[in-house]
Amino acid sequence: MNWLFHCQYPIKKIPPRCPILILTALFVLSWITLSSAATFKDALGRTVTLKTPPKRIVSMAPSLTEILYDLGLGDRIAGVTQFSSYPPEAAQKPNVGSYVNLNAEKIISLNPDLAIGTKDGNKPTTVRLLEQAGIPVYIVNPRNIKDVIGTTHTIGELCGVGKRAKDRSTQLAKRVNRICERTLSLKKPLVFLQINIKPIMTVNKNTFHHDVIRQAGGDNMTKDEPITYPRISIEEVMRRGPEVIIISSMERNGRYERARKDWLKWSTIPAVKERRVHLINSDLLDRPSPRIVKGLETMARLIHPEVEWGR
């Protein structure tokens, strides 16, 4: 399998906006055969040893639940966190609390042979409690789309479905590369992404959202803000004049549709003039799971409707 993603350029000339180059460079996992056991390095540099591929897995974040199901491992999931709503059958699994406030006793009672968690969310004290109870804990830390693809491959290897994970990672990377190739030479419209209604909040460059906007061929209006999730006023949005406004929405009782209509009152904003105020499912942007690639494809269509995307 060729792991090189060229984006129409040889490696030495590839622009920084096309970050997916060689997936193997992303993998934090390393195999060391020790009789019947295997050892892995996680995102914290810890060594995690598994005697056999895990059969009872606790997912300690909704995104990890999605990855496990995406790899066909739903039957091995022993527990999930609050808001693990995708796919729908995940909601039927035992709940172990929120990913920030995990119930260690509940996790231990499920008798898992592996818990998978995130550096950005799961408390170190909970991880230590689980380790003291003899439960292997593997931590991931994806920070952008390429990391999500690498993490998907890594989790597959960890769970003994390496071939399946490699194929899936290759599929995801090809879809990302297709977007990159199509948007590379296009004008980058100024994009304002709203992730909260009251107060109005947005994102800077240290977020998954920014990476999606960038690879979809847009210019994140608030990328240089010093706060990761800054508040912003309507007056400031009017002053900066975004060409596209996108509201991250789960259509909660129509509130986000009303927010879209509220923006349409401000006709001096270029995005409003051109009727380019859109909604997008927040789960496609917020969760570092394979669905973020669908989020990228959706974002690209909203930012560049002039492109014939096809299927």
Bigger pLDDT: 21 vs 289: 289
| pLDDT, position 30 | 42
What value does the mean pLDDT take over residues 139-147? 96
pLDDT at 135 exceeding the cut of 60: yes
Confidence of residue 56 (pLDDT cuts 50, 70, 90): very high
CB 112 within 8 A of CB 56: yes
Residue 10: the pLDDT is: 33
Strand order in the sheet with 114-118: 77-79, 57-59, 114-118, 137-140
Confidence band, pLDDT 50/70/90 cuts, at residue 4? very low
Calculate what percentage of the chain has a pLDDT beyond 90. Answer: 82
Enumerate domains of the chain plus CATH numbers: 11-178 (3.40.50.1980), 186-303 (3.40.50.1980)
Mean pLDDT (the chain) is: 89
Q: Give the E-state strand segments of the chain in sequence order.
A: 33-34, 37-41, 47-50, 57-59, 77-79, 114-118, 137-140, 190-194, 219-220, 244-249, 277-281
Report phi then psi at 297, rounded to 5.
-65, -40
pLDDT over 70 percentage in the chain: 87
For residue 250, what pLDDT band results from cuts at 50, 70 and 90?
A: low
Helix, strand, coil percent content, the chain, rounded in steps of 5: 40, 15, 45
Q: Is 211 helix (H, G, I), strand (E, B) or coil?
A: helix
The yes-or-no verdict on residue 51 having pLDDT over 70 is yes
CB-based contact 62:85 (threshold 8 Å)? yes
- Residues found in the chain: 311
- pLDDT digits 0-9 by tens, 199-246: 999 999 999 999 999 999 999 999 999 999 999 999 999 999 999 999
SS3 245: strand
DSSP helix/strand/coil, 285: helix
Query: Which band of pLDDT confidence, cut at 50, 70 and 90, is reported for residue 253?
Result: low
